[in-house]
Amino acid sequence: MFFQKPKTLLGLNIGSSYIKIVELKNSGPRYTLQNFGYTILPSDTIVDGTIMDSMAIINAIKNLVENLKIKKKQICTSISGHSVIIKKILMPLMDEDTVENTIYDEAAHHIPYDIFDVNLDFQILGPSLEANDKMDVLLVAVKKDVISDYLEVIEEAGLQPAVVDVDTFALENMYEYNYEDATEEIVTLVDIGSNITNINILKDGISNFNRDITIGSRQITEQLQKQLNLNYQTAEQLKLGVPVEGLKAEETGKLISDASFAYINEIAKTIDFYHTSASGSQVEKIYLAGGGAKLSGIVNAVQEITNISTEIINPFRDLIIPEAKFDLEYIQDIAPLAGVAVGLALRKDRIK
Ligand SMILES: Nc1ncnc2c1ncn2[C@@H]1O[C@H](COP(=O)(O)OP(=O)(O)OP(=O)(O)O)[C@@H](O)[C@H]1O
Ligand SMILES: [Mg+2]
C-alpha cells in the first residue's frame, strides 16, 4: 500500500496594503497550518483596486514565497473593490441550468459595465420572500481586465492561479469552516482593509446582504497625518500603537477613535438598513476581520455603536497549529489579517 503525501493548499490575498499568503495541509478532517506570512506594499502600488506598480507586487510575492520556503505553485486568489459587483436579484423560479443559460441577459439589467467585459457567477439563494413565483439569486460580476492584471502579476511571480474568488466570499468560506458550531442564525462578517470595508450578512450560513464601504484603516493614518502634521510613515506607526515622541497617548487615542467613527458608523447604518429591509431579522453577532480589526479599542466601539455582540474573527480557530513551528501568541496577534487567505486556501478543496 502506498501512502499519498498530504495535499497542501495555498491562498494568496493581494490587498491594497498587505499581501498575505497561507499554506494549509489537508490532514484529515481538520487542516494544519503549514505557513502564514504577510508583507507590506509601498503605498500607491494598488489604487482603487487597480494595479499601478506591477513590479512591486511581483517582488513582494516572490520574497514572501522565498522567505516562507513555499514550494507549491498552484494558488487560489481573490479580487475586491470597484471591479466586483455583488447583487441579490429576483428571477422567476427555474433550475440551475436554465439560470446558467439566461444569466448574461438577466445580468445586463443589473451591471453597470458591458456584460462582455465581466466574468459572471451566481448562486441560487432560494425562494423569494417578496414574490412567491420568484427566487433570490446572488449575482457576482468581476471585470475581466482587472482579473487578467492580477493573474499576470501572479504568473510573473512564478505562481499558477487555479481559482479566482472574491474577497468577501473567501472570508465567508473561512467562517463556514471555522465556526461550524456557531449557534447564531444571523451574523455579520466585516473585513476592514486598508481602503475598503466589506460587509457580508449571513443568514443560516447563506450570504443575505453585501456592501462595500470605500473607507478603511488607511483613512485613519491619513487623518492623523493631516491633523498632527506628520509624515505618512510616522502617522502609520502611531496608528499601530507605537508611541511617537512629543505626542500624548490620550490625545492621539482620541484622534484615532474619532477617525474610526466614520466607518464604524457606516457599518452600523448598513446593519440598520438590513434590519429594516429584512423585517424581523436581527444580526446577533459581528465578526471583525482584516488589519483594521487590530485597531486598539475597535471591538468595544463597534459593539457600543451597533449594540450587537462583537468579536475579532479567528481564522485559525479550527486549524491545527503545530506549536513547534509557530509562536502561538504571534499567530493570534496577526490572525485578523489571515481571514481571506485562509478562506482561499480552503477554497480549492471545497469547490462544488
Ligand atoms: N495593529 C494595527 N492597528 C491598526 N491598524 C492596523 C494594525 N495592523 C495593521 N493595520 C492596518 O491594516 C491595514 C492592512 O490590513 P489588510 O491586510 O486587511 O488590508 P488590505 O487587504 O491590504 O486592504 P484592502 O482590503 O482595503 O485592499 C493597513 O491599513 C494597516 O495600517
Ligand atoms: Mg483586504
Residues of the chain with pLDDT > 90, as a percent, come to 83
Range of the domain at 111: 84-142
**Range 227-239 average pLDDT:** 94
189 and 107 inside one domain: no
101 and 44 inside one domain: no
Do strands 197-203 and 186-192 pair parallel, antiparallel, or not at all (unpaired)?
antiparallel
Whole-angstrom distance, CA of residue 156 vs CA of residue 150 = 10
Asked whether the predicted pLDDT for residue 352 surpasses 70, the reply is: no
247 and 199 inside one domain: yes
The CATH number covering residue 204 comes to 3.30.420.40
Distance 323 CA to ligand 1 centre (A): 26
Whole-angstrom distance, CA of residue 290 vs CA of residue 152 = 25
Atom of ligand 1 nearest to the CA of 46: 27
Model confidence pLDDT, tens digit, residues 164-216: 999 999 999 999 999 999 999 999 999 999 999 999 999 999 898 999 999 99
Q: Looking at residue 197, what is its pLDDT?
A: 96
Q: Among residues 285, 52, 265, which one has the least CA distance to residue 184?
A: 285
**Cell digits for 215?**
473607507
96 and 238 inside one domain: no
162 and 31 inside one domain: yes
The pLDDT-based confidence of 2 (bands split at 50, 70, 90) is low
**pTM, to two decimals:** 0.94
Query: Which of 294, 330, 333 most suits a substitution to test ligand 1, by most atoms within 8 Å of the C-beta?
Result: 294
Asked whether the predicted pLDDT for residue 349 surpasses 60, the reply is: no
Q: Looking at residue 3, what is its pLDDT?
A: 57
Residues of the chain with pLDDT > 70, as a percent, come to 97
**Range 233-239 average pLDDT:** 94
Asked whether the predicted pLDDT for residue 350 surpasses 90, the reply is: no
Average pLDDT of every residue of the chain: 93
Q: Looking at residue 48, what is its pLDDT?
A: 83
Distance 194 CA to ligand 2 centre (A): 7
| Phi-psi category of residue 73: left, alpha or beta, with phi > 0 → left and psi -120 to 50 → alpha | alpha
344 and 302 inside one domain: no
Distance 291 CA to ligand 1 centre (A): 3
Q: Which residues sit with their C-beta closer than 6 Å to ligand 1?
A: 15-18, 80, 193-196, 216-218, 236, 239-240, 290-292, 294-295, 337
Q: Looking at residue 129, what is its pLDDT?
A: 81
Ligand 1 atom 12 nearest Cα:
291
Q: Looking at residue 248, what is its pLDDT?
A: 86
Atom of ligand 1 nearest to the CA of 290: 18
Q: Looking at residue 351, what is its pLDDT?
A: 43
**Range 144-167 average pLDDT:** 96
Whole-angstrom distance, CA of residue 329 vs CA of residue 201 = 30
The pLDDT-based confidence of 144 (bands split at 50, 70, 90) is very high
Distance 131 CA to ligand 2 centre (A): 36
Ligand 1 atom 25 nearest Cα:
193
107 and 205 inside one domain: no
Q: Looking at residue 4, what is its pLDDT?
A: 59
The CATH number covering residue 137 comes to 3.30.1490.300
Q: Lowest-pLDDT range, 78-82, 303-307, 346-350?
A: 346-350
Q: Among residues 51, 53, 97, which one has the least CA distance to residue 77?
A: 51
Distance 280 CA to ligand 2 centre (A): 31
Ligand 1 atom 30 nearest Cα:
291
Asked whether the predicted pLDDT for residue 156 surpasses 70, the reply is: yes
Domain count of the fold of the chain: 3
Q: Looking at residue 348, what is its pLDDT?
A: 63
Atom of ligand 1 nearest to the CA of 196: 26
243 and 293 inside one domain: yes
Q: Looking at residue 231, what is its pLDDT?
A: 94
159 and 244 inside one domain: no
**Range 72-92 average pLDDT:** 92
173 and 203 inside one domain: no
Q: Looking at residue 306, what is its pLDDT?
A: 97
Model confidence pLDDT, tens digit, residues 20-69: 999 999 988 899 999 999 999 998 899 888 899 999 999 999 999 999 99
Q: Is 56 exposed, middle or buried (0-12, 13-18, 19+ CB in 10 A)?
A: middle
136 and 147 inside one domain: no
296 and 333 inside one domain: no
